[in-house]
Chains A and B, each alone.
Chain A
Amino acid sequence: MNLEVVDKSLETFVLNLGPQHPATHGVLRVKLTMDGEYIVHAEPVLGYIHRMQEKMAENRTWAQYMPNTARMDYLGALSYNHGYAAAVERAMGIEVPERAEYIRCITVELNRIASHLLWFGAFVLDLGGFTPLLYAFDDREHILDLLESVTGARLTFCYFRFGGLYNDIDDDFITGTRAFIKRLRSRMPMYHDLVTNNIILIKRLKDIGPISQDMARRYGATGPVLRGSGVNFDVRKHEPYSVYPEFDFDVPVYSEGDSMARYMVRMDEIEQSMRIVEQGLDKLPDGPIMVAKAPKIIKPPKGDYYCAVEAARGSFGIRLISDGTNTPYRLKLRSPTFSNLSLFSEACHGMILADALAFMGTLDLVIPEIDR
C-alpha cells in the first residue's frame, strides 16, 4: 500500500454502524464515511425487518388487520390501534360511545408514558448510564401490568374495535392507575435529580445535533423531534380527535432544537400524559363501550380517507382506499420515525461519532415502525 495521500484531511474511511449495534435500538445499519472521529457522510440502510405490512393489509379483511397495527411501533402500539380504528370509523361514519373514547385516551396515554419511560432508560444507557434504565423499567412494568389486565397483552395490544373496545375497564384498573400516577409523580423529581440535572448529560446533549425549523419542515419531522425545534404541533391539539378536546393539557415546546430540547420535551410529555389520564379517570362517563348497532360486516364506502393520530413518536397517519369490499384496496401507513430518521444524514454532517449516537437516541427510533 504505497498510495500517496495528497491531503491528509481528505483521507476518509467507511465505518459500518450496525445492523447489530446497541445504540441503533434494533436492526438499523448506518453506513458512515468518517474523517477520523468526524462524520463526513451518513447513509442509513433500512429494510432489515421489513414485512410488507401494506401488502398484508390487502390480503386481510378490515378487522383481521387490527393485530398487525400493534406490530409496528411495539412500544406505543395503542396509538396505532387508535389510528387504524379511527380511520375505518371515519370512512364508515361510526360514532364511538363516549366511554369508549375516554378509555381509549386513558390507555393510549398510559402507553405513551410507558414508551417515553423506555426511551428514557435506553437513551441514558446509550450515553453510558446504566442505573436509570432499571428505575425506568421498574415504573414501566406497572403500566404493562395495568394494560395487561384490561387488554390481555403487554406489548402487542389488539384492544380497540371498530366502534368501541374489546373490554371494559374495572375498579381494579382505576385504583391501580391512580396509585401508579401518584407513584410516578413522586419519582419524577428523582429522575430529574439523577439524570436531567446531571452535568455529564447536559454536556452530552446541550447544543448537540441542532434541527432547524426549516430542516424539520423539509423532512416532515413530527412529534417530540419537531416540538424540540420550537414548533407547537401536536395532532391531539391541531386536528382534535377522540375526546382530547375535553382534556386540559399543554404541549411542551422547547425552541433550542438541540438534543437537550428533545429530551426535555419527552420528559415533560410524561407529566402531561399523567394529567390526561387523571382527568380521564375523573370524567369517565358511564355507558356502553361498544356502539349499539356495530356493523357486523365492515365494508367502508368507496373512496379514500386519511386519519392521523399523535403517536409517541409523532404523527402517525393512515391513508386508506376502499373499493367497497371487505378488504382494503390500499392502506398506506405513514410512520413518524421514517420521516424523523430521514433528516439524520443531513443533521449529523460534521458531528463527532459519539455525539451522533446521542443525537440518534433523541430521535427515538423504533425500527419495525420505520421498516413496516
Chain B
Amino acid sequence: MLIDEIKQALADLAVIEKIEITRELPAPVPTEGEADDAKAATVTETETVEQPALHTTEYTSKGFHLSVTISPDDVVSAAKQLLKQEFFLEAVTGVDWLKENQMEVVYDYNHWNENCRVVVRTFLNRETPELPTISEVYSGANWHERETHDFFGIKFLGHPDLSPFLLPEDADYHPLLKDFKA
C-alpha cells in the first residue's frame, strides 16, 4: 500500500509532539456517608505522551489521508521522498497563527494512481518566518512559494525570485497576516 510506504518514508522526519491523554479511572468504591455525591466524583488522570506527529486521518471527514508535521529544515527531504513515490504537489500555502505566535506552512500532495492525499506541515517562528525552498525538487512550488511570500512574508531560502507576484510590484505588505491593517 502506498500510504504505508509513504508513512514509513516520512516517519523519521516527523517531529515528536506531546499530547495530553485524559483517561477516566474506575471510580473508587464509595464509603458510607459520601454515597450521594459519588456520581460527581469521577476520577480522571492526565498523562503526557510523546509520539511522532504523523496521523492517519479519516478521509471522508477531513479530505486527506495522512498528516505529517515536520521541522522546517526537513521540507526538502520530505519533498524528495514524496517525489520518489511519484506524488505531485497540489499547493503550498501558509496559515498565520497569531495567538500562538507561529506561522504554519502547508504542503498538499496528491497521487495520480492511488487516492492518497498527504499533508505536510511545518511551524515557524512568527518573527523570523524562514524555511528552505522546495522549488528545486518540485518546479511548480516556485509560484506557490512566491505567492505564500506575498501573502504572509514567509521567506523561502534559496528561492530564485521572491519579488511580489500577485500583489503590486512595490507591495511591502502581507495581507493575509492576521494583524494586517489596510
Q: Are A47 and B90 also in contact (CB < 8 A) when A239-B115, A306-B108, A321-B95 are?
A: no
Chain A minimum-CB-distance residue to B161: A43
Most interface-central of B60, B106, B143 (chain A CB within 10 A):
B143
Q: Say whether B95 contacts A305, CB under 8 Å.
A: no
Contacting B at CB under 8 A, from A86-112, are 87, 90, 93
Using A50-B167, A217-B86, A217-B88 as known contacts, say yes or no to A319 and B61 having CB atoms under 8 A apart.
no
Interface size counted on chain A using CB atoms at 8 A = 43
Q: Could you pull out 16 A-B pairs where Cβ atoms are within 8 angstroms?
A: A50-B167, A58-B176, A87-B63, A90-B60, A90-B63, A215-B139, A217-B112, A220-B140, A231-B112, A306-B117, A315-B110, A332-B93, A332-B106, A338-B143, A342-B139, A371-B166
A54 at the A/B interface (Cβ < 8 Å)? yes
Are B175 and A52 in touch, CB under 8 angstroms?
yes
Given contacts A231-B112, A233-B112, A303-B62, 20 further A-B contacts (CB under 8 A): A47-B165, A93-B61, A217-B86, A217-B88, A219-B140, A220-B138, A220-B140, A238-B112, A238-B115, A239-B115, A306-B108, A306-B119, A317-B90, A317-B91, A329-B95, A330-B96, A332-B106, A334-B90, A339-B140, A371-B166
Report how far A72 CA is from B164 CA in the complex, Å: 21
State the majority secondary structure of interface residues on A: mixed
**B residues lining the A interface (CB < 8 Å):** 60-64, 83, 86, 88-91, 93, 95-96, 106, 108, 110, 112, 115, 117, 119, 138-140, 142-143, 151, 164-168, 175-176
Residues of A within 8 A of B62 (CB): 90, 303-306
Chain A residues in 8 Å Cβ range of B108: 306, 317, 319, 334
Q: Report the nearest B residue to A338, measured CB to CB.
A: B143
A293: interface (CB < 8 Å): no
| Closest chain B CB from A93 CB (angstroms) | 7
